[in-house]
Amino acid sequence: MSQSESPDPPENQEEDTPGHSATSLPHSSLPPPVVDPGSSHPRRSGSGGRARSSRRGHSHRSRSANGRSRSRHRHSSNRRHSRHRCRTYFQHKERNFASASCSMVTIVLLCTSLEPNWIYMSGGDCHLLHDPKGSLHTLSTRQFFSNGHFYKNYPLTSAGDMVYKFGGSSNDILVNCVTYTAVLLFKASIAFTLIAVVFSFISFLLDLFGPTYQLLKLLRRNAIFNILTVVMCISINLFAYWITSAVERLQESSRMHLGSKVEVTFAASFYLITAAGGMSVLATACNCLRRHKGVEAEHVRQADRYFDDTEALLPPPPPEEDSSPLSNLPPPPPYAP
């Protein structure tokens, strides 16, 4: 009995103690769990990194998109301001297409006038050096664009002949055709024609674009450059008349024979210059006779301000008297009860 009630052998106790000790140890003393490569914890951490990186990329893209939108807004505002400035500097209501068309026609006529003949002559001894006498009947500006020279006692000429060499060729020599004064007048006519072309071109640009600058607006509305073009055309025609007079005197002194009739007249270029001046006059009329609403409104405001100031200085008018028949009756007697 005593043997059967004896405790278990030590070996059984040793077998049970590990189990009891494992259950009795606290959780903090347990070793860290081994992470399985196929578990969900690394994926969770990787997804968090990707989320953070995606948030960073999204913020970066949003900042870059905001920067691009701001730059586009800045560029669009700059373009809008530049268009507004262009509309401010050049206004459609200030343009005058009728005057611009007249100026364009004037430019064409002036440029064309440099090519045809300016003077027609007959009955004199004008000729080129190797041509027969009296064979040259016209003079044009193309013979005076380059610098020429006068010669005395030139070969194949007489002692008293007026010899003018205008080109490099051996036959580019005028004999008894022009004088020194006529050559200067031809060169002055060429210069004035080119100046008139410049004036007409400036007037054409002012009428076409209609600038609002005060000085340019004053020049355009008063047709200053068109008037200067007219003055240039008149001067060129006066030079042409002076040229014909000088050439006519030379032709009369060098007639082919005593009975020949000397005749010196204007050629096509003279009439082209006249037409150009007429078109400039028409352009001046289109500018000066055009009504401007802003100017008329300003004049009305100035007149109203002037009359208001004048009325303020004058004394007030006397009251008007009643001219009715009842106004002459005596007042009624006082009331008596």
Q: pLDDT 10s digit of each residue in the chain, 337 long?
A: 434 444 444 444 444 444 444 444 444 444 554 444 444 444 444 444 554 555 555 555 555 555 555 555 555 555 554 554 544 454 566 788 888 999 999 999 999 999 889 999 988 888 888 888 888 889 988 889 888 888 888 888 888 888 899 888 888 889 889 999 999 999 999 999 999 999 999 999 988 888 878 888 888 888 899 999 999 999 999 999 999 999 999 988 888 777 778 889 999 999 999 999 999 999 999 988 876 565 455 555 666 665 665 666 667 666 665 555 666 677 777 777 6
Is 52 domain-assigned?
no
- The reply to whether 273 and 248 lie within a common domain is yes
Place of tokens 């009728």: 98
Place of tokens 């994926």: 43
Cross-sheet strand order for the sheet of 117-122: 138-140, 117-122, 263-266
Contact 268, 203 (CB under 8 A): no
**242 falls within a domain:** yes
- Name the residue range of residue 82's domain: 60-89
Q: Which of 258, 273, 291 is the last residue before a domain boundary?
A: 291
Same domain, 224 and 181: yes
**Residue 92: which residues within 8 A CB-CB, separation 6 or more?**
210
What whole-number distance in Å separates Cα of residue 63 and Cα of residue 205?
Answer: 48
My answer on whether 72 and 104 are in the same domain is no
Q: Based on the domain organization, do 134 and 181 belong to the same domain?
A: yes
* 85 and 181 co-located in one domain: no
Q: How many domains does the chain have?
A: 2
Same domain, 100 and 214: yes
Quote the pTM value.
0.61
Question: Do 83 and 140 fall within a single domain?
Answer: no
> Are both 188 and 284 inside the same structural domain?
yes
Which amino acid, residue 236?
I
107 and 207 inside one domain? yes
Q: What is the pLDDT of residue 5?
A: 42
Q: Residue 309: inside a domain, yes or no?
A: no
Dihedral, 200, 202, 207, 212 alpha carbons, nearest 10: -150
CA angle 255–257–259, rounded 5-degree value? 100
The H or E element spanning position 264 is strand 263-266
Query: What's the token pair of residue 51?
Result: 């989320």
Residue 29 covered by a domain: no
Residue 250 lies in a domain: yes
Predicted pLDDT of residue 326: 62
In-domain check, residue 17? no
Give the pLDDT confidence score for residue 54 in this predicted structure: 53
